[in-house]
């Protein structure tokens, strides 16, 4: 008979799990050996929070649940911060945690800790394996819970005595997880209500979020944009669902568009601070809101004019079919689109001016302009840090769903390098750029060793302003403990066999980028930038969200 470890590994293999991010340790050592026997790739990391971060990025890029594994006690608990992040971003993760033996609970055994209780507030569900024969079935349960609306992380607790015990039966793992019932088509009345409201609007917008990624709705959304002629904007985590080179991606006009719109179709996103809660003052009084979301609680909270609790892809497909029967009059939106294009062009002109800025120290937006020049169309961009997030948002476009990853609504900074590694493991043929602040890099920068050991050549560009944030002009306003200096972070890469280079002049950025890319190795470019140039993030949440692509108030940028 197999052990529970064997059964669990077989089940994961049968369910299509190709990669597990982990740290080897008791009581999971045999489980990792069983995974290895079956050809499941094991990516061994330096810290469990990084393993969970890599799994998060892997899920975002592939659009499927990802698995991370940690040893007992503090090892498993280290995954909790990323569990919180995955809950906030509705990302499906299966978090496997070894734990102390059930038989010795209450005796003060090694690493005895009620991990289930600790995980409960941070995940969709906690599940504990108490019988060896249940290991596969409970993994299937975790998978079903993680992928059911609202998606999110599930913690599967693996007590050592159960995990390494023999099963009573040779359980058949060939039976796949039961497929969910085919969803009913969206209501025709709802579809007509949306199209009627759109036809009545003079200044309509589409706002989409990660729900478009998880429902594989990118193609349907692009068709709807083309058929309706309505400009679209995405949340930061939802970028790339339609190429941002699209004629109706008027990114620099975001603030103006939100303020003046009279109708918005919200697709697969929440009405949180990212989009100003779809309420004044960010949006106009009297705004008509049509919201499509699988989450009934989100619809109840928002109380939109038109509420559609349904999958975004199915709704968009139904809308597209209806538009074939009643084509939209796109010409009437000409004045609205021209108005937005003028604002977008003005914002783009400001960004274009930075491409030749030769200031010393380097202006961060000049660095962004150089990165933008070398990004492939399907590049995966990871943005991490405080001011760095604002600089990336203004400058770097995305063109593929799931190919933009950042700290999200929780502001979970410091996972840039792990995110990059998880993304590269998910899509080895894609260029992966991690653009990280120097403070953010310090949290998990040592994971560049993981990239080197597993031959995952990411490029990490450190936007090094020597501190946790940009420095204020008035020293009296400086944050305590902000000054970090400008150490040679690039040596972290060279220490492990990667490529590293320090860059201090604007004219050296482009050749350094080319050398890093041509090295074929995990690389760190440590770019020293002007410490007094702040992005919109200095203004707090309101400032961050009111300034996109050069728009709104910005301290120095």
- List pLDDT tens digits, range 244-280: 999 999 999 999 999 999 999 999 999 998 899 999 9
Q: Which pLDDT band, with edges at 50, 70 and 90, does 545 fall under?
A: very low
* pLDDT at residue 303 is higher than 50: yes
Q: Which residue has the tokens 């590994």?
A: 9
Average pLDDT over residues 99-112: 88
pLDDT digits (tens, 9 = 90+) for 134-143: 999 999 999 9
* pLDDT at residue 544 is higher than 50: no
Say what the pLDDT of residue 251 is.
93
Say what the pLDDT of residue 496 is.
98
Q: CB-hemisphere CA count at 13 Å for 346?
A: 10
Percent with pLDDT over 70 in the chain: 95
Find all residues with CB under 8 Å of 171, minimum gap 6, and list them: 2, 7, 133, 136, 137
Torsion sign (Cα): 447, 235, 373, 243 = positive
Say what the pLDDT of residue 176 is.
63
Q: What element of type H or E holds 94? A: strand 93-99
Query: Higher pLDDT residue, 180 or 35?
Result: 35
* pLDDT at residue 537 is higher than 70: no
Q: Selecting from 3.30.420.40, 3.40.50.720, 3.40.50.970, 3.30.565.10, what CATH number does the domain 355-545 have?
A: 3.40.50.970
Residue intervals of the chain classified under CATH 3.40.50.970 are 4-163, 355-545
* pLDDT at residue 340 is higher than 80: yes
Say what the pLDDT of residue 476 is.
79
- Cis bond upstream, residue 293 (ω within 30): no
Find all residues with CB under 8 Å of 387, minimum gap 6, and list them: 364, 437, 463, 465, 469, 470, 533, 534, 535, 537, 538
The DSSP output letter for 224 is H
CATH fold for the domain made of 188-341:
Rossmann fold (3.40.50)
Say what the pLDDT of residue 181 is.
59
pLDDT digits (tens, 9 = 90+) for 367-410: 999 999 999 999 999 999 989 999 998 799 999 999 999 998 88
Within 15-103, residue ranges assigned H as helices are 29-37, 48-62, 74-77, 80-89
CATH fold for the domain made of 4-163:
Rossmann fold (3.40.50)
Distance CA 361, CA 73 (A): 46
pLDDT digits (tens, 9 = 90+) for 197-239: 999 999 999 999 999 999 999 999 999 999 999 999 999 989 9
Say what the pLDDT of residue 109 is.
84
Residue intervals of the chain classified under CATH 3.40.50.1220 are 188-341
Distance CA 104, CA 115 (A): 15
SS3 517: helix
Q: Which pLDDT band, with edges at 50, 70 and 90, does 469 fall under?
A: confident
Average pLDDT over residues 459-472: 93
Lowest mean pLDDT among 29-38, 62-71, 99-108, 381-390: 99-108
* pLDDT at residue 193 is higher than 50: yes
Say what the pLDDT of residue 542 is.
31
* pLDDT at residue 427 is higher than 50: yes
Query: Taking each helix axis from N to C terminus, what angle separates 387-395 and 334-354, rounded to the nearest 10 degrees?
Result: 120
Distance CA 431, CA 516 (A): 12
Say what the pLDDT of residue 540 is.
39
Q: Which pLDDT band, with edges at 50, 70 and 90, does 547 fall under?
A: very low
Average pLDDT over residues 16-42: 97
Distance CA 372, CA 150 (A): 34
**Are the C-beta atoms of residues 308 and 291 closer than 8 Å to each other?**
yes
Torsion sign (Cα): 466, 467, 471, 477 = negative
What is the phi/psi pair of residue 404, to 5°?
Answer: -135, 120
**Are the C-beta atoms of residues 275 and 245 closer than 8 Å to each other?**
no
Say what the pLDDT of residue 481 is.
79
Q: Which pLDDT band, with edges at 50, 70 and 90, does 184 fall under?
A: confident
Distance CA 275, CA 252 (A): 15
* pLDDT at residue 549 is higher than 90: no
Distance CA 265, CA 258 (A): 12
């Amino acid at each position: 008979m197999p052990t529970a470890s064997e059964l669990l590994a077989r089940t994961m293999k049968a369910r299509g799990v190709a990669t597990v991010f982990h740290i080897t340790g008791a009581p999971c050592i045999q489980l990792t050996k069983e995974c290895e026997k079956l050809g499941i790739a094991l990516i061994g990391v330096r810290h469990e929070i990084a393993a969970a971060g890599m799994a998060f990025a892997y899920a975002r890029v592939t659009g499927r649940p990802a698995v991370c594994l940690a040893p007992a006690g503090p090892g498993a608990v280290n995954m909790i911060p990323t569990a919180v992040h995955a809950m906030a971003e509705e990302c499906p993760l299966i978090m496997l945690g070894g734990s102390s033996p059930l038989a010795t609970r209450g005796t003060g055994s090694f690493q005895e800790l009620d991990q289930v209780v600790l995980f409960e507030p941070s995940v969709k569900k906690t599940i504990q394996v108490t019988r060896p024969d249940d290991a596969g079935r409970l993994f299937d349960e975790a998978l079903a819970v993680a992928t059911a609306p609202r998606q999110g992380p599930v913690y599967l607790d693996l007590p050592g005595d159960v995990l390494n015990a023999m099963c009573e039966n040779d359980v058949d793992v060939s039976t796949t997880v039961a497929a969910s019932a085919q969803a009913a088509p969206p209501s025709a009345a709802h579809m007509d209500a949306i199209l009627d409201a759109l036809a009545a609007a003079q200044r309509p917008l589409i706002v989409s979020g990660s729900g478009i990624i998880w429902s594989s709705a990118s193609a349907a959304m692009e068709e709807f944009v083309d058929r309706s002629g309505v400009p679209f904007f995405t949340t930061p985590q939802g970028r790339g669902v339609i190429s941002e080179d699209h004629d109706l991606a008027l990114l620099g006009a975001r603030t103006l568009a939100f303020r003046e719109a009279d109708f918005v179709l919200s697709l697969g996103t929440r009405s949180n601070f990212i989009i100003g809660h779809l309420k004044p003052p960010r949006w106009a009084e009297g705004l008509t809101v049509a919201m499509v979301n699988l989450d009934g609680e989100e619809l109840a909270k928002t109380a939109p004019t038109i509420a559609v609790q349904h999958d975004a892809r199915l709704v968009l497909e139904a809308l597209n079919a209806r538009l074939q029967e009643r084509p939209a009059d796109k010409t009437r939106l000409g004045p609205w689109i021209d108005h937005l294009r003028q604002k977008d062009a003005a914002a783009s002109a400001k960004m274009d001016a930075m491409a030749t800025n030769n200031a010393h120290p380097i202006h961060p937006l000049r660095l962004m302009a150089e990165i933008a020049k070398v990004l492939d169309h399907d590049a995966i961009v990871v943005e991490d840090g405080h001011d760095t997030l604002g600089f990336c948002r203004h400058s770097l476009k995305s063109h593929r769903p799931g190919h933009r990853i950042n700290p999200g609504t929780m502001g979970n900074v410091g996972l840039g390098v792990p995110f990059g590694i998880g993304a590269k493991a998910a899509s080895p043929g894609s260029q992966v750029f991690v653009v990280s602040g120097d403070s953010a890099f310090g949290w998990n920068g040592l994971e560049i060793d993981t990239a080197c050991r597993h031959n995952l050549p990411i490029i990490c560009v450190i936007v090094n302003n020597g501190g946790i944030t940009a420095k204020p002009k008035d020293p009296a306003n400086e944050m305590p403990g902000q000054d970090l200096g400008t150490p040679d972070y690039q040596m972290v890469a060279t220490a492990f066999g990667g490529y590293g280079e320090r860059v201090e002049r604007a004219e050296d950025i482009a050749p350094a980028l080319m050398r890093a890319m041509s090295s074929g190795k995990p690389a760190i470019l440590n770019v020293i930038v002007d410490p007094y140039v702040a992005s919109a993030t200095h203004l707090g949440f309101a400032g961050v969200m009111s300034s996109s692509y050069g728009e709104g108030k910005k301290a120095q940028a």
